[in-house]
Structure 1
């Protein structure tokens, strides 16, 4: 992993993709309203379960099945969790970018005792 910040064009693509996925999911949903929002959030549990299944499969922990997944499968499932979480967050607020950025800054500062500057370098609190 690198200490450098995500390039701004990648960040823009990320949020554009999240908005597009939200629009796609909102089209022809069998359940909408409050229940639809709750189901979208619950989708995270399904995705996390798929991470667990992939880890078990990558380590061969199920003797009946053996090795059924790769660590690349685990990476993909973790990406699905992140995407699903961002879509769920976007479902709750149009200010997703700002909400996520503020929360990431708080967690980073609380955990590392530093705040990240816009260029990705650490600065003292």
Structure 2
């Protein structure tokens, strides 16, 4: 990922921090991680809609909707990671490399 990707992630995290509801109790990290689950649900809904898997709703979404929701899951995960650690960029890069190494070493 280039520098602008993480710059944008940090901009979004900073905006969320600045607009956080002071009434919410608890650790903001918990809410950011739980948001990933919400976004995953939206991907599942879009998948059902794109494939027409729900006979009651039919084809209610497109594959573009699925792609958009997948992007939202990724960005939400990156924001959660950046909220949980100041080393988010390094950790993600290292993890990606370990995953690549695991499948390409043979």
Same fold (TM over 0.5): yes
Q: Which is higher, the Rg of structure 1 or of structure 2?
A: 1
Higher helix share: 2
Distance 1:52 1:110 in 2: 29
TM-score normalised to structure 1 length: 0.78
Are 2:59 and 1:67 equivalent residues in the alignment? yes
Which residue of 1 is the match for residue 31 of structure 2?
39
Q: C-alpha offsets along residues 5-29 of structure 1, whole Å, 9 cap, x if unaligned?
A: x5xxxx1110110010010000131
List 4+ stretches of structure 1 deviating above 4 A: none
Which runs of 5 or more structure 1 residues have no equivalent in the other structure? 1-5, 115-125
Which residue of 1 is the match for residue 99 of structure 2?
107
Instruction: Choose between structure 1 and 2 for higher RCO, CA contacts under 8 A separated by at least 6 residues.
Output: 2
Q: Specify whether residues 87 and 32 from structure 1 end up closer, same or farther in structure 2 by C-alpha distance, changes over 3 A only.
A: farther
Distance 2:43 2:85 in 1: 26
- Number of aligned residue pairs: 104
What is the Cα-based RMSD across aligned positions, in Å?
1.4
Which residue of 1 is the match for residue 17 of structure 2?
26
Counterparts of 1:112-123 in structure 2, within 5 Å, are 112-113=104-105
